């Protein structure tokens, strides 16, 4: 047995030697080459294409992609030591760039491509301060799974308002605007397009039809691809690229949509700022913009001239088929950013169960009443709708400077935290009360119809 | 470690070993302080801080103001408790039948039984949805045949279902080790006295295996209570961990309430562990003889074995269906709203082959080192806690276990902040841009798993064996080397395997601390693929590789353990 024992320990030693060797190999400095590092929330499908093209044009440079998800990416840039920060930040969410700019983590340079127009619709493509640039455009729309729709006999939607219809109850998915900067823009577009009260009424109805409020924005297209959800509110390339990857999905832009840029910016105190500049300029050049037409990427270029070379049927935001009807006011959006997000979370995301129950009760009552008109029941049902689908913050208050300023500072002291949590509590419990009351009223209406 | 030793001298007790014990304890404490307490402290002090720098408890007041938080607390508690119940229902029969009866394929079952722990991030979720979800295979079939669908994956019950399937191996592994460690004489005498069947299990076997069960169950409870991934993937937000996460990771705000939740979760988790330790206190579980391999395995009557095999087959099918789902997904061209994929292909594996072969090596390296460190630390802490008389020895356990309740993001940000500009000696490379931090994050985050297994193993080891060795002239060191470690080997191995496999699929700290693609582990690769529709297949393929890798590792270590056990016996 002693022999065997020795054999075992020899094996152990061999294993540890291998591990040690591996450890050494891994600590060796990566390359003697110049390394450009990019923090991004974009999928590999997109970044790999750019990495390959840029490396081919710039021999000797290695592009290092750090895929982190937006909020982790911001934190990573913030925590990295000066002089050793990554070079480029590249993501969709405009709010992430706002934060980076406010914390002086972005650096200005004259890299803009002059051929890029100042605005798409009413939304400025480049940051007015010149700290970051629009690199591609994206519009919001509705994506659906054709098999799911067929199996559940659902009609194809055209507008946001369609998603509020009872027929889509429990079939829709949306991501929370506090988790996805792009969803926030959709919500804001609806609020600006329809007005505060009507916009919230629609949002709450859509929320009531949702099977889930997802935590990640990719959760929506992922679930639609699976067939887990029937329809979802998504950014266009999620829909277009899923379709081109063979999934049984369709995508449509509603007439009220926001076209907004996905941005790219140079990080301040970066390790290789020169390479960063070169890369940003490349992504904005015709060659870099051409890459966006790749089927797995499917994004809209910011250079209008590119659309002449676009594949057939490719959407064109510059006076093509999709037009942003809403005069999007980005200052207004910015001023109430946290209010809208917090309201959405405390009345929809966290009270989703109750909202769905109220919506179901209202739908059931409406279905019962459809056959036999009953004035009193109608009145009750309308009251139920009003209670359930009114925003907890009125339009006037949402414009109040003092109220908005509560949310402005990024650091929170005890008093502010207390005020904010008091608001959250108020909204949450008000929403819960509203939904319970609506459910009760709808129940009464249904009882009358019998 | 000069400081640790000199300070160790101060606590030195008359016995020769105590000085060394003190030094080891201080070294471990220093490790935990540097790599857990300080980094986490730099992040969560926000919970107690005012922007002007003063300390305050007012944020806690704000927390208790929110009825949402009370609701979340009760939801988390309910989910954790219910998950322990269901996980026990799954794990108990698997462990008991395979450890105590003549059972074909016991080793295979035990190996397959730990696979659910390796649920690759996102891929696991997608696969679960494809199998059990609203439009998953099961519900599509049920709808076709019976016109009904089961909301398995909805709401809190969905979370309980997934958590129980995911974490029952904690109970299974610890219980199997515990069962193998019971003195066979106990069971044999009980049988000689006429006890059998349920009574034997209820009165003799289960009580003696209690340390293993409690180790596993408390781990499941705390893990589920603190788990973030599952509720988020199922879009359940009204629980504590998701609430903390959503508040902490919002872009642009440092929300103190999020950190208040973290602090309260740590406190509650430690309380739960303390309570579980209390439940075992005052009882003696140690037995002199090790029973596992010497105990004559019993035979099942034909109808019993039919029942047992049937139940085990059902359970394994249930718990492995996500893995079957991942496997199918990795070969699927398109799989959407159908019971099975439309068509099959090998191209996802080909994509992997030229995309990311290096990640596999990285995972093996980081997780192997991390799990190794975990076992060393876990054994040392367990030994100090149960065998030494050092003051404050339990605090090591509490410190290490606090890691369970800390979101990976918080630890990772803490690391980046604490070790900013720290260079690795002699290389000039920044610590924050090397993989060492990632490995250490795995070590710290998975230490509680290894620790619970080691503690359970040592609790079952009677101290008189060590006393005997010392009476025969062996020093402390030799006793530990020749008696304690070999007899604890089962528990240590269980700890290693758990740490290794859970580290292999760790995500939140991985995303944050990965600083270059060449140093990225597999879990990062899976995350990367799963961000796009076209990446689902390759992501699943990488998930399959991760599962296979860990399964192979588990199987080999079981084999190794068996041959060691056989070796020990022949030597005796």
Strands A300-301 and A132-145: antiparallel
Quick: pLDDT tens for B52-103. Answer: 777 888 888 888 888 999 999 999 999 999 999 999 999 988 888 888 777 7
pLDDT of residue B2: 36
Do B237 and A213 count as a contact with CB atoms less than 8 A apart? yes
Asked whether residue B6 is domain-assigned, the answer is no
User: To the nearest 10°, the Cα dihedral for B231, B236, B240, B245?
Assistant: 70
pLDDT of residue A120: 83
CB-based contact, B61 to chain A, within 8 Å: yes
Could you give the percent of chain B with pLDDT greater than 90? 21
Q: Say whether pLDDT at B20 is over 60.
A: yes
B12 or B431, which is more confident: B431
The mean per-residue pLDDT over the stretch A427-437 comes to: 95
Quick: pLDDT tens for A244-256. Answer: 888 999 999 888 7
pLDDT of residue B565: 63
Q: What is the mean pLDDT of chain A?
A: 86
pLDDT of residue B514: 87
pLDDT of residue A220: 94
Please report which confidence band the pLDDT of residue B9 belongs to, taking 50, 70 and 90 as the band edges.
Answer: very low
Q: Say whether pLDDT at A119 is over 90.
A: no
Highest mean pLDDT among A114-123, A353-362, B316-325: A353-362
Count of domains for chain B: 1
pLDDT of residue B30: 95
**Three-state secondary structure string covering chain A:** CHHHHHHHHHHHHHHHHHHHHHHHHHHCCCCCCEEEEEEECCCHHHHHHHHHHHHHHCCCEEEEEEECCHHHHHHHHHHCCCCCECCEEEECCHHHHHHHHHCCCEECCCCCCCCCCCEECCEECCCCCCCEEEEEEEEEEEEEEHHHHHHCCCCCCCCHHHHHCHHHCCCEEEECCCCCHHHHHHHHHHHHHHCHHHHHHHHHHHHHHEEEEECCCCHHHHHHHHCCCCEEEEEHHHHHHHHHCCCCEEEECCCCCCEEEEEEEEECCECCHHHHHHHHHHHHCHHHHHHHHCCCCCCEECCHHHHHHCCCCCCCCCCCCCCCCCCCCHHHHHHCHHHHHHHHHHHHHCCHHHHHHHHHHHHHHHHHHHHCCCHHHHHHHHHHHHHHCCCCCCHHHHHCHHHHHCCCCCCCCHHHHHHHHHHHHHHHHHHHHHHHHHHHHHHHHHHHHC
pLDDT of residue A285: 94
Alpha-helical regions (H) of B332-357: 347-355
CA distance B109 to chain A (A): 26
* Residue A176, both tokens: 């929370």
d(CA B93, CA B416): 45
B459 or B374, which is more confident: B374
CA distance A67 to chain B (A): 7
CB-based contact, A120 to chain B, within 8 Å: no
pLDDT of residue B378: 94
Write the Ramachandran bin of A246: left for phi over 0, alpha for psi from -120 to 50, otherwise beta. Answer: left
In this structure, of A267-281, A362-376, B188-202, the range with the lowest mean pLDDT score is B188-202
The answer for B 393-422 residues in CB contact with A (under 8 A) is: 409, 413, 416-417, 420-421
d(CA B160, CA A445): 36
CA distance B542 to chain A (A): 15
pLDDT of residue B550: 80
The mean per-residue pLDDT over the stretch B475-485 comes to: 84
Alpha-helical regions (H) of B133-289: 137-146, 155-181, 184-192, 197-200, 206-208, 210-226, 229-233, 240-248, 256-280
Could you give the percent of chain A with pLDDT greater than 90? 49
Superfamily of domain A34-137+260-309: Periplasmic binding protein-like II (3.40.190.10)
Asked whether residue B509 is domain-assigned, the answer is yes
Angle, nearest 10°, between helix axes A337-344 and A181-194? 100
Q: Say whether pLDDT at A352 is over 60.
A: yes
d(CA A93, CA A39): 13
Quick: pLDDT tens for A149-165. Answer: 999 999 999 998 899 99
Asked whether residue B16 is domain-assigned, the answer is no
Quick: pLDDT tens for B209-233. Answer: 888 898 889 989 988 998 888 888 8
Selection from B319, B320, B340 nearest residue B328 by Cα = B340
Query: Measured in whole angstroms, how far is the alpha carbon of residue B561 from the centre of its chain?
Result: 20
In this structure, of B66-80, B194-208, B489-503, the range with the lowest mean pLDDT score is B194-208
Which residue among B427, B511, B512 sits closest to A27, beta carbon to beta carbon?
B427
CB-based contact, A275 to chain B, within 8 Å: no
Do B67 and A425 count as a contact with CB atoms less than 8 A apart? yes
pLDDT of residue A94: 80
CB-based contact, A285 to chain B, within 8 Å: no
In CATH, the architecture of A139-258+329-449 is 3-Layer(aba) Sandwich (3.40)
Do B532 and A44 count as a contact with CB atoms less than 8 A apart? yes
Which residue among A214, A242, A349 sits closest to B533, beta carbon to beta carbon?
A242
- Chain A residues whose CB is inside 8 A of the B255 CB are 412, 417
CA distance B261 to chain A (A): 13
The answer for B 23-52 residues in CB contact with A (under 8 A) is: 50-52
Quick: pLDDT tens for A29-71. Answer: 444 578 999 999 888 888 999 999 999 999 999 999 998 878 8
Q: Which of B72, B252, B563 best probes binding to A when mutated, by most A CB atoms within 10 angstroms?
A: B252
The answer for B 502-531 residues in CB contact with A (under 8 A) is: 511-512, 514-519, 524, 527-531
- Chain A residues whose CB is inside 8 A of the B512 CB are 68, 72, 75-76
Q: Say whether pLDDT at B562 is over 50.
A: yes
A34-137+260-309 and A139-258+329-449 share one fold: yes
Cβ neighbours of residue A186 closer than 8 Å, sequence gap 6 or more: A140, A177, A233, A257, A258
pLDDT of residue B279: 78
pLDDT of residue B564: 67
Asked whether residue B1 is domain-assigned, the answer is no
Do B246 and A179 count as a contact with CB atoms less than 8 A apart? yes
The mean per-residue pLDDT over the stretch A364-389 comes to: 90
Asked whether residue B474 is domain-assigned, the answer is yes
Asked whether residue B3 is domain-assigned, the answer is no
Quick: pLDDT tens for A177-190. Answer: 988 877 888 898 88
- Chain B residues whose CB is inside 8 A of the A229 CB are 134
The mean per-residue pLDDT over the stretch A75-91 comes to: 90
pLDDT of residue A201: 95
pLDDT of residue B148: 85
Q: What is the mean pLDDT of chain B?
A: 83
Q: Which of A35, A215, A248, A423 best probes binding to B when mutated, by most B CB atoms within 10 angstroms?
A: A215
Which residue among B257, B416, B536 sits closest to A79, beta carbon to beta carbon?
B416
Radius of gyration of chain A from its Cα atoms, rounded to whole angstroms: 26
Query: Structure pTM?
Result: 0.85
- Chain B residues whose CB is inside 8 A of the A148 CB are 135, 337
* Residue A67, both tokens: 């895929």
- Chain A residues whose CB is inside 8 A of the B250 CB are 71, 178, 341
Q: Say whether pLDDT at B555 is over 80.
A: no
CB atoms under 10 Å from CB of A108, counted, come to: 14
pLDDT of residue B12: 33
d(CA B91, CA B82): 14
CB-based contact, A338 to chain B, within 8 Å: yes
CB-based contact, A99 to chain B, within 8 Å: yes
Which residue among A211, A215, A417 sits closest to B256, beta carbon to beta carbon?
A417
* Residues paired with A85 in a beta bridge: A270
Coil vs helix vs strand at B253: coil
The mean per-residue pLDDT over the stretch A226-243 comes to: 90
Which residue among B67, B336, B420 sits closest to A428, beta carbon to beta carbon?
B67
Query: Measured in whole angstroms, how far is the alpha carbon of residue B404 from the centre of its chain?
Result: 9
pLDDT of residue B79: 95
CB-based contact, A410 to chain B, within 8 Å: yes
Asked whether residue B420 is domain-assigned, the answer is yes
pLDDT of residue A266: 96
Q: Say whether pLDDT at B187 is over 70.
A: yes
pLDDT of residue B354: 76
Q: Say whether pLDDT at A7 is over 50.
A: no
Contact of B535 with A43, CB cutoff 8 Å: yes
Q: Say whether pLDDT at B523 is over 80.
A: yes
Highest mean pLDDT among A158-167, A405-414, B196-205, B467-476: A158-167
What's the CATH number where B274 sits? 1.10.3720.10
pLDDT of residue A58: 93
* Residue B308, both tokens: 């047992």
Q: Say whether pLDDT at B17 is over 80.
A: no
Asked whether residue B145 is domain-assigned, the answer is yes
Quick: pLDDT tens for B271-316. Answer: 888 888 887 776 667 766 655 445 567 777 888 888 888 888 888 8
pLDDT of residue A323: 58
pLDDT of residue A53: 95
The answer for B 532-561 residues in CB contact with A (under 8 A) is: 532-536, 560
Do A72 and B512 count as a contact with CB atoms less than 8 A apart? yes
- Chain A residues whose CB is inside 8 A of the B259 CB are none
Selection from A435, A449, A266, A276 nearest residue A369 by Cα = A449
pLDDT of residue B3: 36
Domain coordinates in residue numbering, chain A: 34-137+260-309, 139-258+329-449
């Amino acid at each position: 047995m002693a022999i065997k024992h020795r054999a075992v320990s020899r094996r152990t030693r061999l294993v540890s030697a291998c591990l040690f060797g591996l450890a050494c190999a891994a600590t060796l400095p990566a390359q003697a080459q110049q390394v450009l590092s990019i923090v991004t929330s974009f999928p590999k499908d997109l970044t790999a294409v750019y990495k390959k093209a840029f490396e081919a044009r710039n021999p000797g440079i290695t592009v290092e992609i750090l895929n982190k998800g937006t909020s982790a990416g911001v934190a990573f840039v913030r925590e990295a030591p000066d002089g050793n920060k990554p070079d480029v930040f590249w993501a969709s969410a405009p709010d992430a760039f706002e934060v980076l700019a406010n914390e002086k983590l972005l650096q200005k340079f004259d890299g803009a491509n002059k051929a890029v127009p100042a605005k798409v619709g009413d939304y400025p493509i480049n940051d007015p301060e010149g700290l970051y640039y629009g690199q591609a455009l994206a519009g919001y729309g509705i994506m659906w799974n054709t098999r799911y729709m067929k199996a559940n006999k659902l009609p194809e939607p055209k507008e946001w308002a369609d998603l509020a219809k009872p027929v889509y109850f429990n079939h829709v998915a949306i991501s929370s605007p506090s988790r996805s900067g792009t969803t926030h823009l959709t919500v804001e577009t609806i609020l600006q397009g329809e007005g505060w009260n009507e916009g919230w009424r629609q949002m709450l109805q859509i929320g009531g039809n949702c099977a889930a409020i997802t935590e990640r924005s990719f959760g929506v297209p992922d679930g639609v691809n699976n067939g887990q959800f029937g329809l979802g509110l998504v950014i266009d390339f999620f829909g277009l690229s899923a379709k081109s990857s063979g999934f049984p999905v369709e995508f449509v832009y509603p007439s009220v949509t926001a076209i907004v840029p996905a941005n790219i910016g140079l990080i301040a105190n970066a390790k290789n700022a020169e390479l960063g500049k070169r890369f940003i300029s490349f992504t904005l050049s015709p060659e870099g913009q051409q890459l966006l037409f790749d089927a797995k990427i499917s994004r809209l270029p910011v250079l209008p001239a590119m659309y002449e070379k676009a594949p057939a049927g490719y959407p064109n935001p510059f006076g093509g088929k999709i037009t942003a009807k809403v005069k999007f006011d980005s200052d207004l959006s910015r001023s109430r950013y946290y209010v809208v997000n917090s309201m959405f979370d405390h009345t929809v995301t966290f009270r989703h169960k109750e909202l769905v129950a109220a919506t179901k009760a209202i739908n059931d009552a409406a279905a019962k009443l459809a056959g036999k008109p009953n004035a009193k029941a109608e009145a009750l049902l309308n009251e139920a709708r009003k209670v359930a689908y009114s925003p907890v913050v009125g339009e006037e208050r949402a414009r109040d400077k003092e109220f908005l300023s509560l949310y402005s500072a990024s650091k929170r002291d005890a008093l502010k935290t207390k005020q904010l949590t008091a608001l959250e509590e108020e909204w949450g419990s008000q929403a819960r009360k509203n939904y319970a009351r609506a459910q009760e009223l709808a129940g009464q209406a249904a009882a009358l119809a019998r | 470690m000069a400081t640790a030793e000199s300070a160790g001298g101060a606590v030195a007790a008359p016995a020769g070993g105590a000085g060394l014990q003190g030094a080891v304890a201080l070294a471990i404490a220093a490790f935990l302080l540097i790599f857990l307490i300080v980094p986490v402290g730099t992040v969560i002090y926000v919970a107690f801080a005012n922007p002007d720098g003063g300390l305050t408890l007012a944020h806690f007041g704000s927390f208790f103001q929110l009825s949402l938080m009370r609701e979340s607390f009760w939801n988390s508690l309910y989910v954790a408790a219910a998950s322990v119940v269901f996980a026990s229902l799954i794990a108990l029969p698997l462990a008991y039948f395979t450890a105590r009866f003549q059972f074909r394929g016991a080793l295979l079952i035990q190996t397959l039984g730990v696979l659910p722990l390796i649920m690759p991030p996102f891929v696991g979720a997608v696969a679960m949805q494809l199998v059990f979800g609203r439009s998953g295979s099961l519900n599509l079939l049920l709808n076709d045949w019976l016109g009904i669908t089961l909301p398995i994956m909805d709401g809190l019950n969905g979370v309980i279902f997934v958590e129980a399937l995911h974490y029952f191996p904690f109970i299974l592994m610890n219980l199997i080790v515990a069962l193998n460690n019971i003195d066979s004489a106990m069971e044999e005498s009980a049988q000689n006295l006429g006890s059998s069947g349920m009574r034997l299990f209820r009165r003799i076997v289960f009580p003696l295996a209690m340390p293993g069960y409690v180790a596993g169950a408390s781990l499941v409870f705390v893990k589920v209570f603190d788990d973030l991934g599952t509720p988020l993937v199922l879009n359940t937000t009204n629980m504590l961990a998701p609430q903390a996460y959503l508040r902490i990771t919002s872009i642009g705000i440092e929300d103190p309430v999020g950190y208040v939740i973290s602090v309260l979760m740590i406190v509650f988790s430690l309380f739960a562990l303390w309570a579980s330790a209390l439940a075992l206190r005052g009882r003696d579980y140690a037995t002199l003889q090790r029973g596992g391999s010497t105990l004559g395995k019993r035979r099942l009557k034909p109808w019993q074995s039919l029942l047992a095999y049937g139940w085990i087959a059902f359970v394994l099918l249930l718990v492995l269906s996500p893995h079957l789902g991942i496997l199918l997904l990795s070969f699927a061209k398109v799989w959407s709203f159908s019971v099975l994929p439309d068509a099959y292909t090998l191209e996802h594996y080909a994509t992997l082959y030229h995309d990311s072969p290096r990640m596999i090596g990285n995972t093996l390296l980081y997780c192997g080192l991390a799990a190794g460190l975990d076992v060393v630390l876990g054994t040392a802490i367990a030994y100090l806690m149960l065998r030494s008389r050092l003051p404050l020895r339990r605090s090591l356990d509490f410190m290490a276990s606090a890691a369970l309740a800390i979101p990976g993001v918080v630890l990772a940000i803490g690391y980046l902040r604490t070790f900013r500009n720290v260079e690795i000696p002699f290389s000039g490379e920044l610590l924050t841009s090397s993989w060492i931090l990632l490995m250490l994050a795995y070590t710290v985050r998975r230490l509680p798993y290894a620790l619970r297994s080691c503690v359970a193993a040592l609790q079952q080891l009677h101290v008189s064996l060590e006393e005997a060795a010392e009476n025969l002239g062996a020093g402390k060191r030799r006793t530990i080397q020749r008696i304690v470690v070999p007899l604890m080997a089962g528990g240590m191995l269980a700890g290693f395997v758990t740490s290794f496999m859970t580290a292999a699929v760790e995500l939140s700290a991985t995303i944050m601390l990965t600083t270059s693609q060449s140093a990225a582990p597999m879990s990062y690769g899976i995350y990367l693929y799963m961000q796009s529709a076209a990446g689902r297949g390759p992501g699943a393929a990488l998930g399959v590789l991760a599962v296979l890798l860990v399964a192979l590792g588990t199987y080999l270590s079981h084999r190794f353990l068996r041959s060691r056990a056989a070796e020990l016996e022949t030597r005796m």
